[in-house]
Structure 1
Amino acid sequence: MVNDQIQHGSYRQYYDKFRPQDSRPRQLENCLLPWIAQRLTTGQPVRMLDIGCNSGKLTEAVLTTVRNALPEKCCSMLGVDIDDRLIEQANQEYQSVGLSFAQADMFAVAKGEAPGNPVDAALLQEGAKQFEIIFCFSILMYVHLNHGEEGLKSVLDYVCRRAKLLVLELQSWSKYRDHVRRMRREGGGDYPLYPTLIWKGNNGQLERFICDYVIRKGFEVLDNSLDKNEFCRSVIVFASNS
């Protein structure tokens, strides 16, 4: 069970043990809210998706931040996570109109292999084709390690088709190496595709591979703040050109 948490990053009590103070809602406020105000028409709802929502604490905090800043808009947020027990916890702890949680393996969703696909179901229910904002906070490393470049590209392709604004918090290559060592140390074995990875490298090289791919999908970098968060990770915000 511990190995499953390490393999997919679905840590229990993540926010209590590792991130009791979280600066990300504050960091996002400066770049997200002006974009929302400029790009969305009056009365247009703000639909959001948080991929890898864990127990829902950050999901709820981001939704609250947007709602407080834009009280005239109808804001909603769907959080998805691969771990059904974390989803159960999120549903128990955060009960709010417009806030919902569902279990989903985003690799399976991207490959069209997820039964009931709650992401597309949420859009269909709203009669929409895209979310205004999709968040991927420190989750893509696990897709990359488990499914290689092709798996990561599949997930990026999927979210790029469904996002007007895409927010990525990317782990560095040194974090990848630390995590692989931890996986072995805890008895979880190896990630079989790790030795084959081409997207890698220190000093931002790995992050550039991912950012360049998103840009080729029709996005521009809206904000790449040098104001690192408490985990020394930048939050990169992309806006669709379409």
Structure 2
Amino acid sequence: METHVSHVNEEDSEDPGAAPYGNFINYYSFNPPENRLSLIPQTLLQNIGLDSERVLILDVGCNSGDLSVALYKHLLHEEASVSDFSKREVYLLGFDLDQDLILRAQNSNPLPQNIQFIPLDITDGAKSQAVLESHLGRFGCPRFHLCTCFAVTMWVHLNHGDEAFLSLLSRLASLCEFLLLEAQPWKCYRSAARRLRKLGRSDFDHFKTLEIRGDMAAHAREHLEKQCSMDMVQSFGNTSWDRSLLLFKRR
């Protein structure tokens, strides 16, 4: 079965439709971490100049934490053992709005000294701002060095509308020096809406009235560059689900 996992797409899987906020229970069984990690160089931290200092990483929408942990280990490839990981000053904070998924992440976390998972909703501006600022304050940092946001933008967009989509991008840009973004393409929006209808649920509140459509990665890039003082510095190509991984840097 494992040899076929990377070829499963959202439309073929039976699980995705049950989560209108993207909080799939067994997400990594049909989209394993390797789908993204195969595109991200292990030397990413060194490449962007974050190899010789304390590094804070934020993973927005971490689900059950599988990708967060795999990414952490991927980026710290030089260390082989758990004890070695704890000596590096690289810390990852992952959050998700689903408390059950966060409990899973916490219970399976192999590196609690360096990786932390908390329940938080990025669209709850005041609360999430306070929590993240408090976390940064513990380390004396004004913002995260690297923020990752994998397959989150569509769910905010579908459930909260165009303004929330742009606000999310602005918020991410304000939180970090580097942003690694995976925005779902428009075909995923249509698939998500179709799956919801097949389950007999009402459509997403904003799907039919969204004005931001089409090339979603291009829309995200335009907003980040024109409104958020960020520049795209690299594209790591497309995942097996045809989603681009884009790296942005604060000017």
- TM-score band (shorter)? 0.7 to 0.9
Quote how far apart the aligned CAs of 1:4 are.
9.3
Q: Is the Cα contact below 8 Å between 2:154 and 2:189 reproduced in 1?
A: yes
Deviation track 1:149-185 (CA, whole Å, cap 9, x = no partner) reads 1111222111111111001111111110111111111
Q: Is the 8 A contact 1:3 1:187 kept in 2?
A: no
Structure 1 residues 4 and 104: alpha-carbon distance in aligned structure 2, compared to 1, 3 A threshold: farther
1:51 corresponds to 2:66: no
CA deviations 1:188-208 (Å, max 9, x no partner) are 21112112211101xxx2221
DSSP-derived class of the 1:105 partner: coil
8 A Cα contact 1:47 1:75, kept in partner = yes
- 2:248 maps to what in 1? 238
Among residues 196, 213, 235, which one is paired with 1:224 in the alignment? 235
Q: Which residue of 2 aligns with 1:190?
A: 203
| Maintained 8 Å contact 2:42/2:76 | no
In 1, distance between residues paired with 2:164 and 2:201? 21
Does the 8 A contact of 2:149 with 2:182 survive in 1?
yes
Task: Report the alpha carbon displacement of residue 32 of structure 1 after superposing the two structures with TM.
Answer: 2.3
Q: 1:208 aligns with which of 218, 222, 231?
A: 218
Distance 2:107 2:17 in 1: 22
Q: State the TM-score, normalizing by the size of structure 1.
A: 0.87
Structure 2 CA distance for aligned equivalents of residues 31 and 175 of structure 1:
30
Structure 1 residue 233 displacement after superposition = 1.2
State the match for 1:75 in structure 2. 90
Distance 2:244 2:101 in 1: 25
Letter of the 1:64 counterpart: K
Alpha-carbon contact 2:95-2:119 (below 8 Å) kept:
yes
RMSD: 2.3
Deviations 1:105-156 (A, max 9, x none): 1101xx2145x84322211211211111000001110000011111112221
Q: Is the alpha carbon distance of 1:14 and 1:155 closer, same or farther for their aligned partners in structure 2, counting shifts above 3 Å?
A: same
Change over 3 Å in CA distance of 1:7–1:62 after alignment to 2: same
5 Å-filtered alignment, 1:78-227, equals 78-96=93-111, 97-108=113-124, 111-114=125-128, 117-201=130-214, 205-216=215-226, 217-226=228-237
Contact in 2 for aligned 1:46/1:73 (Cα 8 Å): no
Q: For 1:130 and 1:151, how far apart are their aligned partners in 2?
A: 21
Whichever residue aligns with residue 27 of structure 2, its letter is Y
Aligned length: 229
Q: Give the secondary structure class of the aligned counterpart of 1:225.
A: strand
Q: Following the alignment from structure 2 to structure 1, what is the Cα–Cα distance between the partners of residues 175 and 103?
A: 25
What stretches of structure 1 of length at least 5 have no aligned partner? none
Shift of the 118–26 alpha-carbon distance from structure 1 to 2, 3 Å rule, reads farther
Q: Which amino acid aligns with 1:240?
A: R
> Which of 38, 41, 57 is 1:26 aligned to?
38
| Contiguous gaps of at least 5 residues in structure 2 | 1-14, 80-84
CA contact 2:43–2:75 (8 Å) conserved in 1: no
Q: Is the 8 A contact 1:167 1:236 kept in 2?
A: yes
More deviation, 78-87/155-164: 155-164
Q: Is the 1:31–1:223 Cα contact (8 Å) retained in structure 2?
A: no
Mapped partners of 2:163, 2:108: distance in 1:
35
Query: Residue type matched to 1:58 in 2?
Result: L
